[in-house]
Amino acid sequence: MNNEQKIKQHIEKLRKTINYHRYLYHVLDKQIISDGALDSLKQELKKLEYKYPKFITVNSPTKRVGGVVLDKFIKVKHRVKQWSLEDAFTEADLFDWEARLKKILLKNTIDYTCELKIDGLHIVLNYEKGIFILGETKGNGIIGENVTENLKTIEAIPLILEKDINISVEGEVFIKKSDFEKLNKIQKQKGLNLFANPRNCAAGAIRQLSTKIVAERLLDCFVYDYIWPESDIPETQIKELTILKNLGFKVNKYWEYCKNINDVINFWDKWAKKYDTLDYWIDGIVIKVNKKTLRDKLGYTGKAPRFAIAAKFPSEEKTTKIIGIEFGVGRTGKITPVAIMEPILLKGTIIRRATLHNFNEIKKLDIRIGDTVIITKAGEIIPKIKNIIKELRPKKTKKINIPKKCPICFTNIIKKENEVDYYCKNKNCFALQVKKIIYFVSKKAFDIFGLGESIVEKLLDKGLISDASDLFSLKQNDLAPLEKFADKKANNIINAIEKSKEIPLWRFLTALGIKGIGEQNSLLLEKFFISKGFHITNWTNNIINEVQSIKGIGSKIAQNIKTFFKDKKNIKLLKKLDRAGIKIILLKTKLNSKINEKIFVFTGAMENIKRNEAQKKVIELKGKISNSIGKNTDYLVLGKNPGSKSEKAKKLGIKIINEKEFLKMIK
């Protein structure tokens, strides 16, 4: 063995030793050598890698040291869609949830696992052959941002796993309370602004372009879900947590197995009383159906998994005074009352305003200017007036009346039939147009960077635009005369507008702002409109009247769709968008007798095509996708390391094909 081979061998041993002690300290909470000794090993490795750069690997512990400065965060599509959980605030909510489960699962016995709900930033970690290759933020659940370099600075996240496998997992990045206090002491010494709370500090750190700053924030991470490949996901949540820990991930130790919903409630009560004893923020517990087979049967609603729910703890409460009421106008014309209050610090943020949702809320609470109110945070995020202390009410206060006119355009307001809300009658109301356009250019829709509310207001006010379609005819010279508009800023906005002209259909449908049609329902509509031979101006009565038949679209939302596409003003907008050169990206629909109306199930890891791309191909060719084997399944596509689905398919006599056969079929 020559000298270089010995050096390489020693470097590998150093990495293995450092990773072992990282695992002991950050995952198992054990320490068998001092911090100084571990730092000494890291320094030795760093020097050797500097001297012998050809031995540097992407998963070396030295890669955790911040120093990289990124230009921007690149958007990436998640392998597996990221969901939000429904919330429960009372025991009745949990019993209602279980009743919904039993309706679907019938006589199946349901058991649960309960985990602490970490109050941090949701992230996705992807590994290939055991090497950390990609870290993502949640984003909108479909598209996130690549924050790999920032996540590499977190010692609790393994750069190399204990097994050579392909896997994607979900976790939560957070900052310990004790570390948060240290950070704020440093901020104070430097004369800088203090961080508001650990949650915001963690989220803000991951959004830093300098990894050096991220490394200084002392971030930590728990991993709690194994999400890909589906064929390898263990049969219970308990086994899943054990496997994650054995792979080298830091798993929160305070989970518990619960035989029934009463056990769940006991776990919830226990942690509601002692969550403050932890060195990190939690805002509730997460309850999951333990068995994977039952989770597969339960599936998802348009917004959340049916098999899991978050039970929140009672919120922190404080008192303050109402000093005024303002009335806002939303993009649908809805008038929303907002309470203006004396500022208070609640859960790490300054609260000055709280929405009252509608006028029934004012009537129910009997809110008046001058009242002392109890403020809480709904779901630990949104400020909410919980109650009024009427004993402290000043004399001669007056009830708050429903305004007769829109606060922006002074047109009469109306109450719609079967609704509690009031609306501005004027479809051309300035506030309405601003909110519509802001929604149109938002990230979930056309994603036009740089067009904030104040700029949209100026463009409308100067008569440069009258609706969203006019944005696409703007020139740099149109923006230059506006206040505080340098050439570079104007040029950037024009470029962003031009770049946004090519848009997937589901995001285009979201941008239209139809009531009840957000991102989830837009995905359902996308498939329907493609099947009808979509064109931007083709909204015939025959097509629109069929939306009622779309699975997942209720009668009320279907009526909203019909109303929108029968409105002459909206038809005019669509024609203007077409003339402006908006290019809708469509899935190509071709009739393929081998695929058309056939039901496909996939199992195992695909080699030449990603699973989500394969499933998308089936949908393009008018086939159907299912996650579970049933008597109506037509094909099971077998990838590498398949699960139990292949055995079930054999028993039911379902045709099993490999990846090569599938690719030939869709060619």
Q: Which residues are catalytic?
A: 117
Can you tell me which residue has the tokens 């490949």? 229
β strands within 485-544, DSSP E: 502-504
Query: Residue 178 phi/psi, 5° resolution?
Result: -65, -40
Query: Quick check: 75 and 117 in contact, CB under 8 A?
Result: no
* Alpha carbon distance 630, 599 (integer Å): 10
**Is the Cβ–Cβ distance between 267 and 114 less than 8 Å?**
yes
DSSP element (H, E) containing 102: helix 91-105
Which candidate, 553, 107, 93, places its Cα nearest to that of 301?
553
The token pair at 530 is: 């493609």
Question: What's the rounded Cα separation, in Å, for the pair 258 and 260?
Answer: 6
Q: What's the rounded Cα separation, in Å, for the pair 137 and 150?
A: 11
What phi, psi does 261 have (nearest 5°)? Answer: -70, -25
Place of tokens 């300290």: 25
**Joined tokens for residue 303:** 């917004």
3-state helix, strand, coil in the chain (%, to 5): 40, 20, 40
Cα 359 to Cα 337: distance, rounded to the nearest angstrom: 7
Bridge partners of residue 136, in order along the sequence: 124, 146
Q: Distances in Å between the alpha carbon of 644 and those of 149, 231, 233, 234, 660?
A: 37, 8, 11, 11, 21
- What tokens appear for 451 in the block? 């067009």
What are the residues facing 414 on neighbouring strands?
423
